[in-house]
Amino acid sequence: MPEIDTISGPPAKIRLADVGIVFRPRDREPVVAVRDFTFDVPEGSIVTIVGPSGCGKSTILNIVSGLMPPSRCKVEVDGRPVTGIRHDVGYMFARDGMMPWRTAIENVAFGLEVRGIANRYEIAREWLRKVGLDRFEGHYRHELSQGMRQRVAVARTFAIEPNILLMDEPFGALDSQTRLLLQELFLDVWERNKRTVLFVTHDLHEAIFLSDVVIVSTNRPGRVKSMVPIALPRPRLPPAELAVVPEFRDIYARIWGDLKDEVRKFV
């Protein structure tokens, strides 16, 4: 069993206890995607899961959001079990998910609109400003670059003031330079309100740069292999500068050491 109380401090915002997920495809053997997955995400912190492809990382996010019921387990947010689709989560994918028929500001305002918030455009405009897109509020999806679309997604995600944030490789589809800028932007926005974030990525630099704790998952069926606290001071240095700090390199070496064997089994 992995040690859970390596994390001390604030109470658990999200708690997973012995979560197991089994896929039962028709006409085929059931696949155990995740087994005995146990961890906490403390209030106001960023916890990132890294692991080989197919280890069930995204599935864990789907379970926390209530999109998918777990096969066996206990999943709690704010001490209450997740029973159905939650409407208090901000969710980001690698794909931007922008509605092409709405302008940037209308996309950001969508979540507020369905909640019936009257001054939604003021709020949306403010968030577009925070992600540096104030001059693009009237632009449609096809008029924006990939990086801008993902910035709209960041604004849209934060605009509803979500209780928790679930991020499924949100910057995975961007070129490496844009990705660095977006990571920095994301952290900058996060610093202002410190929402609880559960993040999933392949990118170790990204994981270390953003997180308070990095969870290394094993190959399928995914289990918690190790939990690595990232004791780097916040606010963090920009990713490019942080990458050359000796502490960063030590942490990177340790996580990669844990992850390498799992990835190797998979390749």
Partner 1 sequence: MAASDTDALLIEAGAGVGVGSEPDRRRVIFARLAVLLVFLGLWQLVVAIGLVDAFWISTPALIVQELWHLLENGALVSDVAVTIYEALVAFVVSSALGIICGLLLARSPFWDDVLAPFVLALNSLPRVALAPLIILWFGIGVMAKVVTAFTLVFFILLVNTLGGAKNVDNDIITIARLMGASERDILWKVTFPSALPWIFTGLNLGLTYSLLGVIVAEILASNHGLGYLIAASAASFNTAGVFAGLITLAVVAWLFSLIMRKVEARLLRWKPSLTSA
Q: Which residues bind partner 1 (CB under 8 A)?
A: 65, 67, 85-87, 89-91, 93, 95, 97-103, 110-111, 113-115, 140-142, 156, 160
* Structure tokens given for 189: 């926005």
Residues, the chain, total? 267
Query: Minimum distance from CB of 260 to partner 1 (Å)?
Result: 32
- Minimum Å gap between C-beta 218 and partner 1 is 27
Taking the least distance from each CB to partner 1, the nearer of 90 and 147 is 90
Closest CA to 84 of 58, 114, 64: 64
The Cβ of residue 94 has, within 10 Å, a number of other Cβ atoms equal to 17
Least Cβ distance, residue 115 to partner 1 (angstroms): 6
Cβ neighbours, 10 Å, residue 185: 18
Nearer to partner 1, 139 or 254 (CB): 139
Rank residues 79 and 116 by Cβ distance to partner 1 and give the closer one: 116
Q: How many whole angstroms separate alpha carbon 18 and alpha carbon 73? A: 6
- 90 versus 221: smaller Cβ distance to partner 1: 90
Minimum CB–partner distance for residue 167 and partner 1 (Å): 13
86 vs 202 by CB, closer to partner 1: 86
Q: Give the separation between CA 240 and CA 181, rounded to whole angstroms.
A: 10
User: What is the per-residue burial (b if ≥16 Cβ within 10 Å, else e) of 134-173?
Assistant: eebbebbbeebeebbbbbbbbbbbbbbebbbbbbbbbbbe
Shortest reach from residue 110's CB to partner 1, in Å:
6
Tell me which amino acid residue 127 is.
W
Among residues 193, 206, 156, 216, the alpha carbon closest in space to that of 45 is found at 193
CB of 37 to partner 1, least distance (A): 21
Instruction: Name which of 87 and 129 has its Cβ closer to partner 1.
Output: 87
